[in-house]
Amino acid sequence: MTTGTRPLTVRHVTLYRYSQPVGLGEHRMMFRPRESHDVRLVRTRLDISPQPSSLRWVHDVFDNSVAIATFEGTTTTLRFASTVTLELTHTPVPHYSLEPSAQQFPFVYPDEDAPDLVRARIRHYPGDEVSRWAAQFLPFPGSIDTMALLSAITFGIRHDFTYVRRPEKGVQRPEDTLRQRSGSCRDFAIFMMEAVRSLGFAARFVSGYIFVPDDSGTADDATAAGGATHAWMQVYLPGAGWIDFDPTNDTVGSRDLIRVAVAWDHGQALPLWGSYIGPASACLGMDVAVSVTEDARPAVAT
């Protein structure tokens, strides 16, 4: 199996505009990617204008890096600019060594893992519609290869649903995603989480970035391209740990995915949230621009 190291630069800029001077409340940011065996951070820079009176970093309950900024005075604009240079190790066709007991579904999580996975298995949107949709991938009777089942669900969403950008805040309910057969990457991630949780899997939400090697593809290929943050999900499988599944792009594994935050629910992994002091009508809007580019240095095969 061949792996490669890809040098990338992620630029994430968010600009708020106000019709009159407003005060700024506390703002929390999740821009810094999670370092791991497949992601190595080389350089990071965070520029905020106006300059905050204080900026501190903390790790949340999921060990995500969170920057917390406080401000003084008033302003008509608020700009956050994060630039991160990193090395992403990728495997074109990953192979996961599941424990023998988990290679076929259904299986039971080991006693030592089960208590830590309780929150990951609880459904946030209980309902029969999503459960029935997920059940169509199960053989009756008998068992099925676990990775084949999860891959089929991933492909089923990519094949049967239409991706649409939804810049508005919040998420649509999984039942609405199913009825409309459309949604954003965030909607698809939450829908798949609910689908696999209905089968008993432990799942969590992932927010981050995606590298699109060739932006010159067809319009369909570009539906989940750059220009915004990206969302997908992970399933915990004994022997392999947390495995990435991106139903928006029908991919399994972390290829081209840069994790920033993980959580049981999307509301715990927002890239940026905060408040301002002033009339609601003062906010003219928010502009977000994200680019993930490959640096000139060639990847190194190992």
Indicate whether 222 pLDDT > 50: no
| Average pLDDT of the chain, as a whole number | 91
Nearest to 12 by CA among 83, 69, 66: 83
> Among 68-82, 135-149, 207-221, 222-236, which is the least confidently predicted range?
207-221
In our burial notation (b when 16+ CB lie closer than 10 A, e otherwise), range 50-78 reads eebeeeeeeeeeeebbbbebebeeebeeb
| Structural domains of the chain, ranges and CATH numbers in brackets | 4-89+270-295 (2.60.40.2250), 96-268 (3.10.620.30)
Q: Which two tokens stand for residue 226?
A: 């750059």
Cα(277)–Cα(24) distance, integer angstroms: 6
262, 34 contact by CB (below 8 A): yes
The pLDDT value recorded for residue 90 is 77
Q: Tens digits of per-residue pLDDT, 184-201? A: 999 999 999 999 999 999
pLDDT band, residue 169 (cuts 50/70/90): low
